[in-house]
């Protein structure tokens, strides 16, 4: 039986992942600053930790653990200041904190360490007919993505730093694109709100392509990363399996909310101008640009495929959001 410690287990991804791990017969412990939240979760043991950083002692939290899934970290914040203080926080939490956890895990005899990175380490956009692959050179564009890439590099060094003392854990890195599903926040929640409220939207001429992953599909990929022998030492991009345009995503979400939202054929240049004039240039750019990943490596090497169909997953997320709004 696998004994798994999940960091960030009370967050959006963690709350979807922990029941899946338990459903596969694994013993699940959650390392969290909010143990009361973890105690409310079924089939989970709460283990209190003061945070993520280079001075945290994980030895007690890692007791009786053979696998770590590291979800916790400093999340990306839209339009945050790229100043020295922000950079330092990303370094302290996402890079130094991840390295300290991995080193303590090695000393504790952890066999496998699954790190949830981000597809943003590859860059901010692709052409509509191209997709990032694991063999491409990473090109992180913001502080968050840079810290994720640096954390990946730090984990690769764990084997070198610990090989003379203890057997290092097998590192598995997953790089998801935008993750959505019930309970989602941030950018995707904003798109749900826009789809629910707007009488019309100006995306009728948007022909971009974007990779997404439903939180249930990501949870299933994490299980594969934990259990498959061939995953050791490998890095994988993951996605739902079908890339959609912003227009297609909005139509599917509207269907899930049982709404009709006409999409006006506004030229992209005009949308970008409007975004620049209103201070929403970055948000408009995300809605218009393409971001695609190629997940053929994990399919071929590990035999993984998503359990959720992207259309059904988007519609169920929209239905959840609509039900939440009605319940307020």
Whether residue 76 contacts residue 120, with contact meaning beta carbons closer than 8 Å, is answered with yes
For 95-245, where are the alpha helices, taking DSSP H only?
97-107, 143-162, 186-197, 215-227
Distances in Å between the Cα of 36 and the Cα atoms of 39, 63, 311 are 5, 20, 35
260: left (phi over 0), alpha (psi -120 to 50) or beta: beta
Whether residue 248 contacts residue 203, with contact meaning beta carbons closer than 8 Å, is answered with no
Q: How far apart are CA 287 and CA 123, in angstroms?
A: 16
Q: 3-state DSSP call for residue 79?
A: coil
Catalytic residue among 90, 115, 144, 236: 144
Instruction: Respond yes or no: is residue 115 known to be catalytic.
Output: no
Distances in Å between the Cα of 51 and the Cα atoms of 10, 74, 100, 127, 149 are 13, 11, 12, 39, 21
Distances in Å between the Cα of 322 and the Cα atoms of 10, 223, 312 are 23, 30, 15
Strands (E), the chain: 3-7, 27-32, 45-48, 67-70, 112-116, 170-175, 178-180, 212-214, 235-237
- What's the CA angle centered on 14, arms 12 and 15, to 5 degrees? 70
Hey, which residues does 263 pair with through a beta bridge? 201
* Ordered DSSP codes for 298-321: HHHHH----SS-HHHHHHHHHHHH
List residues with catalytic annotation.
144
């Amino acid at each position: 039986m696998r004994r798994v410690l999940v960091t960030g287990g009370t967050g959006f991804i963690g709350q979807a992942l922990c029941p899946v791990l338990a459903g596969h017969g694994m013993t699940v412990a959650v390392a969290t600053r909010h143990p009361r939240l973890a105690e409310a979760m079924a089939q989970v043991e709460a283990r209190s930790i003061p945070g993520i950083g280079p001075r945290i002692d994980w030895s007690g939290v890692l007791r009786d653990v053979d696998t770590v899934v590291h979800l916790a970290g400093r999340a990306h914040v839209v339009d945050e200041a790229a100043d020295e203080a922000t950079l330092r926080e990303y370094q302290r939490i996402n890079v130094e904190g991840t390295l300290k956890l991995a080193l303590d895990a090695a000393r504790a005899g952890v066999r496998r360490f699954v790190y949830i990175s981000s597809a943003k380490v590859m860059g901010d956009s692709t052409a509509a007919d191209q997709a990032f692959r694991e063999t491409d050179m990473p090109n992180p564009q913001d502080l968050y993505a840079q810290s994720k890439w640096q954390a990946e590099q730090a984990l690769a060094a764990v084997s070198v730093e610990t090989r003379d003392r203890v057997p290092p854990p097998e590192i598995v890195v997953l790089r998801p694109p935008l993750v959505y599903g019930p309970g989602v926040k941030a950018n995707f929640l904003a798109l749900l709100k826009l789809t629910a409220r707007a009488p019309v939207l100006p995306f009728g001429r948007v022909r971009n392509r974007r990779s997404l992953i439903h939180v249930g599909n990501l949870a299933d990929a994490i299980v594969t990363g934990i259990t498959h022998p061939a995953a050791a030492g490998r890095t994988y991009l993951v996605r739902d399996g079908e890339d959609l345009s912003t227009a297609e995503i909005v139509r599917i979400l509207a269907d899930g909310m049982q709404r009709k939202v006409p999409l006006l054929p506004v030229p992209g240049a005009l949308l970008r101008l409007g975004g620049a004039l209103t201070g929403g240039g970055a948000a408009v750019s995300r809605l218009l640009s393409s971001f695609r990943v190629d997940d053929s490596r994990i399919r071929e090497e590990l035999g993984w495929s998503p359990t959720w169909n992207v259309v059904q997953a988007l519609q169920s997320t929209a239905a959840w959001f609509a039900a939440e709004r009605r319940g307020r």
